[in-house]
Structure 1
Amino acid sequence: MTHQRALLQSHLAAVLFGLTGILGELIKSDPIMITTFRAFFAAMVLFLIIRSQGRRLSEGLNKKDAGMLLLASIMLAIHWVSFFIAVKTGGIAIATLGFASFPAFITLSEWLVLRERVRTDEWLILGLVSFGLILVPPEFDLAAEATIGLLWAVLSGFTFALFTIINRRTASHMPALQVAYWENLFVTLLCLPFALPYLGQPSAADWFWMAMLGIFCTALSHYLLVSSLTRINARSAGIIIALEPIYAIAFAALLFAQYPSIQAILGGTIIVGAIVWSGMRKQPDQS
């Protein structure tokens, strides 16, 4: 794979991630249904990809890893459910910008949980993200739908940060596609009992969009991102993925005429700018 193709794949992954909010808006089913069958369709596709490569599904997996993958899957399930609630409550722009706070939560969690040293510039980035979040809703009123949607989106970002840290600290010796397969399978099994009361709810269109969400915005996007990392470094990929809210807001404006306010654009610019700056910083010497 060439460097340019890797860049193209990472941008395509960001576009597919950005489409998640769009499909969440299109699907009229309950967020727990969306989460369950997003994970189900993703797990099926990842199963086929792994088997087509001649790999074992349990490659590198042991009992300790299985427990940590289950814990990561719980965080992933909460992340997805809260994100889709945010989309349906506050709109696509607020949901994606609130979720974009997750790098700041990773920094905070690493300091609180892992006791890792946080540099001054990282605290500044955390402050900028927090300030940007305050600007995103038209008014920070706990009775307003926009604020409620933002709070759900921030919960989505927080649980995704925990999910990321758990994945970072465990199963590092497992192939990424296998990790993704098991986590999507676990999310399906965890959420299915809660989704059963809503099985009669989705329309044919809902089933189609849930399949697209699982196949393209989950399985394919993950595969593209993992593949691109063979030619570009994680920092470069992270900067590109940070563009996800921009793609999502552009799609929302084109498809649903959901236009963010000037204040929300300012807040989003601060958040995305802080995340891009975070990715471009020179990392401290680990030796």
Structure 2
Amino acid sequence: MSSHKFSTLTKNLFLMHFVVIIFGFTGILGKLITLNAIPLVFWRTLIGGVAIYIWLKLRGKVSKKSFKELAQISFVGLLVAIHWSTFFASIKASNVSVALTMLALSPMFVGFLEPLIFRRKLDWRELLVAFIVLLGVATIFSFDTTYHEGIILGIISAFFAS
């Protein structure tokens, strides 16, 4: 393997681990912050949006958008807001590990939504994997009725994340 490929691989692995750590801290901070889910998402989004706008403005990358583009961006923003609101509500209703475990259902929802959106046939292997994933999650949480609200909110969060 050339040193260029190795350094790219090393860099990508480092970035992946960094993102996993940051994502894990998002849940922990969500549990520690006393704000409810919706105000937490509002402030998080506002601060992030302003920071990104300033960064793009400084780089000269701010461009005018058509109404259609703004509507599409707003729709995606709404989906992400619902995802984050239900994710943080899941953390508040249960704990970080429940919310993150439920978030792992996102790929299963992608497997179901992708054929609908792109009008392709559902692959039986996707159904098999979805069944196995559901069996695993059901096994993990079937013995504890304490976290039902957090589990339901986490599943909704995973759906909107997909």
TM bin, normalised by shorter chain, reads 0.7 to 0.9
Q: Deviations over 1:238-259 (max 9, x none)?
A: xxxxxxxxxxxxxxxxxxxxxx
* Matched residue, 2:18: 12
1:76 corresponds in structure 2 to 80
Deviation, 1:10, is: 2.3
Q: What letter corresponds to residue 148 of structure 1 in structure 2?
A: E
Deviations 1:161-204 (A, max 9, x none): 1xxxxxxxxxxxxxxxxxxxxxxxxxxxxxxxxxxxxxxxxxxx
1:60-85 deviations in Å (ceiling 9; x for gaps): x3322211111111111111111111
Q: Does 1:33 align with 2:34?
A: no
Instruction: In structure 1, give the amino acid aligned to 2:159.
Output: F
d(CA) in 2 for partners of 1:33, 1:65: 26
* TM-score normalised by the chain length of structure 2: 0.86
SS class of match (2:141): coil
What is the CA distance between 1:138 and its match in structure 2? 4.9
Q: Residues 89 and 145 of structure 1 are in contact (CA less than 8 Å); yes or no, is this contact kept in structure 2? A: no
Partner of 1:149: 150
1:1-55 CA distance string (max 9 Å, x none):
9412232122211211111110111101111111001111111221232223221
Question: 3-state DSSP class of the match of 1:23?
Answer: helix
Q: What is aligned with 1:100?
A: 104
Using the alignment, how far apart are the partners of 2:104 and 2:16 within structure 1? 17
Q: Which residue of 2 aligns with 1:66?
A: 70
Residues 53 and 62 in structure 2, CA contact (< 8 A), matched pair in contact too:
no
Mapped pair 1:137 → 2:137: no
Q: What residue is the counterpart of 1:158 in the other structure?
A: 159
* Secondary structure, counterpart of 1:139 in structure 2: coil
Between the two proteins, the alignment pairs up a number of residues equal to 156
Out of 89, 93, 111, the position equivalent to 2:93 is 89
In the other structure, the counterpart of 1:177 is none
Contact kept in structure 2, 1:50 and 1:57, CA below 8 Å: no
Aligned to 2:128: 124
**Contact 1:82–1:152 at 8 Å: present in 2 too?**
yes
Q: Is the 8 A contact 2:56 2:62 kept in 1?
A: yes
Q: Is the 8 A contact 2:91 2:99 kept in 1?
A: yes
Q: Which amino acid aligns with 1:157?
A: A
Task: Name the CA distance, whole Å, in 2 between partners of 1:65 and 1:119.
Answer: 32
Cross-structure match for 2:28: 22
Equivalent residue, structure 1, for 2:119: 115
Amino acid corresponding to residue 21 of structure 1 in structure 2: G
CA contact (8 A) 2:102 2:158 kept: yes
Q: Which amino acid aligns with 2:38?
A: I
- Contact 1:94–1:136, Cα closer than 8 Å, also in 2: no
Q: Secondary structure at the match of 1:136?
A: helix
Distance verdict in 2 for CA 1:46–1:106, change over 3 Å: same
Q: Which one of the candidate residues 47, 55, 58 is aligned to 1:49?
A: 55
2: distance between equivalents of 1:113 and 1:47?
30
Moved over 6 A (4+): none
Letter in 2 for 1:156: S
Change (3 A) 1:49 1:136: farther
CA RMSD between the two structures: 1.9
Identity of aligned residues (%): 23
TM-score, length-scaled by structure 1: 0.51
- CA–CA distance in 2 between the matches of 1:50 and 1:13? 22
1:57 offset after TM fit, Å? Answer: 4.5
